[in-house]
Structure 1
Amino acid sequence: MTKAWTKREGLIALHQVQGVGWHTIDQLFHGGWDPSLSMKESREVFNKISWRQKKLPEILAKKWTSSFVQRVQEELSHRKIQALTIWDRDYPELLRKLPQPPWILYLKGNRSLLNGRCLAVVGTRKPTHYGKNITKSLMTEVVAQGWTVVSGMAAGIDGDAHRSVLNTGGKTIAVLGSGVDVVYPKHHQSLYERLVQEGLVLSEMAPGTKPHPGLFPQRNRIISGLSHGVLVVEAAERSGSLITADCSLEQGRDVFAIPGPITSEKSLGTNRLIQQGAKCVLSGSDIVEEFPHFSHDDEQGTSEHAVSPLEGLSNEEKVLFQLFADDPLPLEALQWHSNISLGLLHQLLLTLQVKGKIKQLPGGRYIKQ
């Protein structure tokens, strides 16, 4: 007998049924069910399953028709949403190895980015000027090395990371905690449109799903699961970004963190990560050197053009950096010559260290690298 739909089409349609989540599909598969079966053929399998949701068989009985499966396919096509199932050949291998890999990913944009060399970048929704500058600088370095940046399109560091990558012509993926067609936060509408056109937006949630706090931890496991490592730029002590870092550790990924002033609430989480063993990142090379099997291909490309030592620096950073010669300078001399307030001076010095421009010597002295 010819099937009314394929196994793949059946899984995609099943995922659109309200109340069906990861565990329900897992329960069905363990019960011996095949998504290509008609409802009549499925009933025998359903009768053997101890359902978590008692009303689900009744819901499926009403939904599970050839017209429903076809309608789901047509609706996705109409919305220009691609569906990538765990059975597809280009499903990301790193995700496939997770304890609970997504059965389906909904995509808008360039799906080939999924199998690139990915680095997750996350951070606070309310970054400081320091955090914004560091994000922009590091994304330039990471993109130059051929990495694809994965983040969550959230306000703050996530959005800054995506924009910085797009502005340098790099590759970036946004993983949403809502349906792939639902823009959240709303003020990221223009960023979302750029990501669809120039990068990739994806979600595990069925299209139309509204954002909900319970969905973001699921989203975070995909951000880290797609990536070889996660970089946390700024995070408070109880930041949601630390959940992504925890996911990375559980998945056996590398965790990187940007140090910050111990007086800054936005750096309490990252400084704590470093205390707990995350690698302290002062420049993009600190990340790249952890993956020597990746960096070789980019050595020729990165040496083809000389880079100005002032590239990637803000105006204030340029003024301070140009004071450095070959000899180390004490803090007092830097403050005297730059006429910069002590608080801002400390921040700029730390930023220049993170960007790999200077280093601190014993006795409160600084020298150009």
Structure 2
Amino acid sequence: MDIAPDLQALLRLVHAGGATAPRRALLSAPVGPAAALAGGPPAWRAAGLDARQCAAMADEAVLAPSRAWLTGAPGRHLIGWHDPDYPVLLRRMTAPPLALFVEGDPCRLWRAGIAVVGSRAPTAGGRDTAAAFARHFAGAGFSVVSGLASGIDAAAHIAALDAGGDTVAVLGCGIDIAYPRSNLRLHARIAAEGTLVSEYPPGTPARREQFPSRNRIVAGLALGTLVVEAAQRSGALITARLAADAGREVFAIPGSIHNPMARGCHRLLRDGATLVESPDEVTAALGPIAAGLADALQGRLHAPIQEADTILNTADSDAAPGIDDVDPDYNRLWKAIGHDPTGMDDLVSRSGLTVAKASAMLLSMELDGRVTSAHGRYSRKS
């Protein structure tokens, strides 16, 4: 399968590594990435890339694994910082990643999410608490974001999937690598039912120095971060700090003074995090912010957002409420959605839309309260 020229150019810039500013400038050039890179090494050096970066961009063998991964199966994507589909919340972070490798529906990265993070070696109670909160968040329509580590991360991902909700796993290695190996089956399950994300090219091994960078993406994709259990020195505290620095909400669950895994949470509480004892407290705090994200998504999709009571009152109509005069594609998709759960293939066949366009519209309908989804199947919300 051929890769579009702009995507080829993006791959080269990702593999160049090193200083981000000149690569971001080339990626954002008005003529497009492919045209910006067409001048070869002299133009690259003029843009500020050093000799090592230029050599990496010209090395076809280095690019081959990423090309193979992108074309190896459906549902694999590379989204650049210049792309309008780049997640709006992550774009607002300091030094957002140049690009994201994504396995799954990239539109899900726009969904209102809550990061659930904590210890890799939690207590049994901490693991159960993480699962209970994640299950509630998924049921309330939030995506559960975490880092696919052992312990709290894994418990949150599994609970969200088991509840029929969305989960986003951000990796500190190549997207094709399950780390730790104990999460191999969970990695595969999230690839099939949720969304995997990494800023590192396929084949990149896990390295200690990459995980703080991974944590900034976890914090950046979420409206708020919940820390369940964490020691005094913990990656979860890095995620919480990055979230706070970005102006996002940080929540912490208190624990026993005798539990060393509670000390990180108590430290966060002393530093100004919000103490929570139930998941409702988190969703209540983030609900108004989620509405703002829906407005941002609305602007991206140019689709009408309806009031929930209007939607419910017209749920049995064959026309999408207030949409048919604005966007006939939305009306076709609405007619394709029944009250019984329907898979994406059937919706695409019925509506005549592309998978990408149908996915984006379905996400808008979910945010609008008209559609519900479970395990990749969609139905009208009654």
TM above 0.5? yes
The aligned length equals 292
Sort the Cα spacing of 1:38 and 1:277 in 2 relative to 1 into closer, same or farther, 3 A: closer
Q: Secondary structure at the match of 1:192?
A: helix
Offset at 1:26? 3.5
1:125 aligns with 2:124: no
Sort the Cα spacing of 1:286 and 1:94 in 2 relative to 1 into closer, same or farther, 3 A: same
Q: Secondary structure at the match of 1:290?
A: helix
- Structure 1 match to 2:39: 41
1:77 aligns with 2:71: yes
CA contact (8 A) 1:32 1:45 kept: no
CA contact (8 A) 1:31 1:48 kept: no
- Name the amino acid aligned to 1:267: A
CA contact (8 A) 1:5 1:69 kept: no
Percent identity of the aligned residues?
34
- Structure 2 match to 1:269: 264
Q: Which has the larger radius of gyration?
A: 1
- Name the amino acid aligned to 1:35: P
Offset at 1:5? 5.8
- Structure 2 match to 1:12: 11
Sort the Cα spacing of 1:277 and 1:76 in 2 relative to 1 into closer, same or farther, 3 A: same
Sort the Cα spacing of 1:38 and 1:123 in 2 relative to 1 into closer, same or farther, 3 A: closer
Aligned 1:1-369 pairs, distance under 5 A? 6-17=5-16, 19-20=17-18, 22-23=20-21, 25-26=23-24, 35-37=33-35, 41-48=39-46, 51=49, 53-61=50-58, 63=60, 73=67, 75-80=69-74, 81-293=76-288, 294=290
Which ranges of structure 1 fall in alignment gaps of 5 or more residues? 302-369
- Name the amino acid aligned to 1:120: A
After TM superposition, the score normalised by the length of structure 2 is 0.69
RMSD: 3.1
Counterpart CA distance in 2 for 1:178 and 1:25 is: 21
Counterpart CA distance in 1 for 2:172 and 2:133 is: 25
Offset at 1:100? 1.3
CA contact (8 A) 1:116 1:147 kept: yes
Offset at 1:31? 10
Counterpart CA distance in 2 for 1:5 and 1:149 is: 32
- Name the amino acid aligned to 1:213: R
- Name the amino acid aligned to 1:56: Q
CA contact (8 A) 1:178 1:210 kept: yes
Offset at 1:272? 1.3
- Name the amino acid aligned to 1:9: Q
Sort the Cα spacing of 1:22 and 1:210 in 2 relative to 1 into closer, same or farther, 3 A: farther
More helix by share: 2
Q: Secondary structure at the match of 1:55?
A: helix
Offset at 1:42? 3.1
Sort the Cα spacing of 1:58 and 1:133 in 2 relative to 1 into closer, same or farther, 3 A: closer
- C-alpha distance after superposition, 1:302-349 (max 9, x if no partner): xxxxxxxxxxxxxxxxxxxxxxxxxxxxxxxxxxxxxxxxxxxxxxxx
Sort the Cα spacing of 1:257 and 1:184 in 2 relative to 1 into closer, same or farther, 3 A: same
After TM superposition, the score normalised by the length of structure 1 is 0.71
